[in-house]
């Protein structure tokens, strides 16, 4: 039996009912086979067996009081997966879908993503099954304070440095940082994604979306092409999607779509970025309100999506940027994209394409940028925020953006060069996984059996 088969079998016994986690592990291990079959040092040191088990899994209840005086209880998590390269680093997600499988898949992906940046950070992830939507500021503050009352004892500026993710923005980071400071009496860089008033980094909000587009630029340049004039399909309407759209417009590409949990906007003239920011970042409205300003746009409610597919991927375009959530792009969507002549897919979210969709793209020789490489700009800039905090400095937007560009170029070159080295030129999934794995594995070997 193969290494992959044996490991997945073991995980299904030791960690039952964690499908997203199995999916993430299987995708990585399958691409590592060219490396593992020729180098037995990894088997000798049980690297895979150790790497798929988190160093620490923290689960706890989060009790809080709503505005009606009723006690609510949520479940909180922090998965400290691997610290071979540095302190655990990875976001906190507040969303009703959060469970142990989601947390472990995200934490496992974070190991390789962080390794690819070349920066001294390990991999972790956390969050809670709390839904901030529809909650008042006071309810969100009380939840964040309760969550941090447990989490604070497990994190620190050189131990574990969480950031934001879905449902966790500057407001939530602020409430959690305030509670951490209150409990410890320390003002330190224990969280990233902070307000620039008190230790946050300029360009952090934009970093993931910008980084995705920088990575796609390198993919296009490798094919002697560019994003200029390309019609782009983008999913999501959060920070990643908004700032990917912003950077695409700066590079003279034409983003045609965006989406939220209620539906999809398609605008043939190109997405109105200022209006999108107004709707999502100021008013917090549904994308359907986009039609009030642009009657020539099309809106497809989520209930009208094609079976086993999503409307955003069924329009004509040159490049696709899935920037919403995991497994949002199915095989049916992949086939629709191919039919509509899409030549490049770059993942802005974590594992947004399911395995069948990825296989479809690879078989069709579509240029495919995997999330662990393409969306690493966010965590890279989080580490730049850590650096600024440690040295008590504040860098300009241009300084941070310049470093981000260099990091994304290095990630592309590392993934692309590794793919070539192992005889799979153009397969950036294999290249990213092997490059990230080798860096972490070597550190684990050098640090002994821990």
| Burial (0-12, 13-18, 19+ Cβ within 10 Å), 227 | buried
Contacts 24+ apart (CB under 8 A), 55-59: 55/80, 55/81, 55/82, 55/83, 56/80, 56/154, 57/100, 57/104, 58/126, 58/151, 58/154, 59/100
Residue in the block written with tokens 């296989």? 359
- 89, 104, 113, 125: which one is catalytic? 125
- β-partners of residue 63 are 73
CA atoms within 13 A on the CB side of 450: 11
**Catalytic status, residue 125:** yes
| Burial (0-12, 13-18, 19+ Cβ within 10 Å), 153 | exposed
Tokens encoding 132: 């901030």
Residue 402 host element (H or E): helix 397-421
Cα–Cα distance measured from residue 305 to residue 39, given in angstroms and rounded to the nearest whole number: 47
DSSP-derived secondary structure for 127-189: EES---TT--HHHHHHHHHHHHHHHGGG-BTTTEEEEEBTTB-HHHHHHHHHHHHHHH----S
Whether residue 202 contacts residue 400, with contact meaning beta carbons closer than 8 Å, is answered with: yes
Angle at the Cα of 59 from the Cα atoms of 58 and 63, rounded to 5 degrees: 135
Cα–Cα distance measured from residue 259 to residue 13, given in angstroms and rounded to the nearest whole number: 38
- β-partners of residue 64 are 72
Nearest to 410 by CA among 449, 377, 446: 377
Hey, which residues are catalytic here?
125
């Amino acid at each position: 039996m193969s290494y992959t088969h044996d490991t997945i079998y073991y995980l299904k016994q030791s960690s039952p009912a964690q499908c997203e986690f199995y999916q993430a592990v299987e995708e990585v291990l399958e691409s590592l086979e060219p490396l593992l079959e020729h180098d037995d040092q990894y088997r000798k040191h049980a690297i895979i067996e150790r790497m798929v088990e988190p160093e620490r899994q923290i689960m706890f209840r989060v009790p809080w009081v709503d505005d009606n005086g009723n006690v609510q209880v949520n479940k909180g998590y922090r998965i400290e997966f691997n610290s071979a390269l540095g302190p655990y680093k990875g976001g906190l997600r507040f969303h009703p879908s959060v469970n142990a499988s989601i947390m472990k898949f995200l934490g496992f992906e974070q190991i390789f993503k962080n390794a690819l940046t070349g920066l001294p950070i390990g991999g972790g992830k956390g969050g809670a099954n709390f839904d901030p939507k529809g909650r008042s500021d006071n309810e969100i503050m009380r939840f964040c304070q309760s969550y941090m009352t447990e989490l604070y004892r497990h994190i620190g500026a050189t131990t574990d440095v969480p950031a934001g993710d879905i449902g966790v923005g500057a407001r939530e980071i602020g409430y959690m940082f305030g509670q951490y400071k209150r409990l410890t009496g320390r003002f330190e860089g224990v969280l990233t994604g902070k307000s620039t008033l008190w230790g946050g980094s300029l360009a952090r909000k934009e970093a993931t979306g910008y980084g995705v587009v920088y990575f796609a630029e390198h993919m296009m340049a490798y094919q002697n092409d560019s994003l200029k004039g390309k019609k782009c399909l983008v999913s999501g309407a959060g920070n990643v999607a908004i700032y990917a759209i912003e950077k695409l417009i700066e590079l003279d590409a034409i983003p045609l779509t965006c989406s939220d949990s209620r539906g999809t906007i398609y605008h043939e003239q190109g997405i109105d970025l200022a209006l999108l920011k107004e709707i999502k970042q100021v008013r917090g409205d549904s994308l359907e309100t986009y039609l009030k300003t642009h009657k020539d746009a099309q809106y497809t409610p989520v209930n009208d999506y094609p079976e086993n597919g999503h409307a955003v991927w069924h329009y004509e375009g040159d490049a696709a940027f899935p920037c919403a959530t995991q497994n949002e792009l199915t095989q049916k969507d992949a086939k629709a994209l191919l039919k509509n002549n899409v030549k490049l897919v770059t993942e802005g979210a974590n594992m947004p394409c399911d395995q069948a969709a990825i296989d479809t793209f690879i078989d069709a020789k579509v240029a495919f940028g995997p999330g662990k490489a393409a969306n690493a700009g966010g965590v890279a800039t989080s580490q730049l925020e850590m650096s600024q905090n440690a040295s008590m400095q504040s860098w300009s937007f241009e300084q941070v953006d310049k470093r981000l560009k260099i990091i994304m170029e290095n990630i592309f070159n590392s993934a692309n060069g590794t793919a070539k080295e192992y005889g799979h030129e153009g397969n950036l999934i294999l290249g990213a996984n092997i490059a990230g794995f080798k860096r972490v594995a070597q550190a684990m070997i050098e640090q002994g059996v821990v």
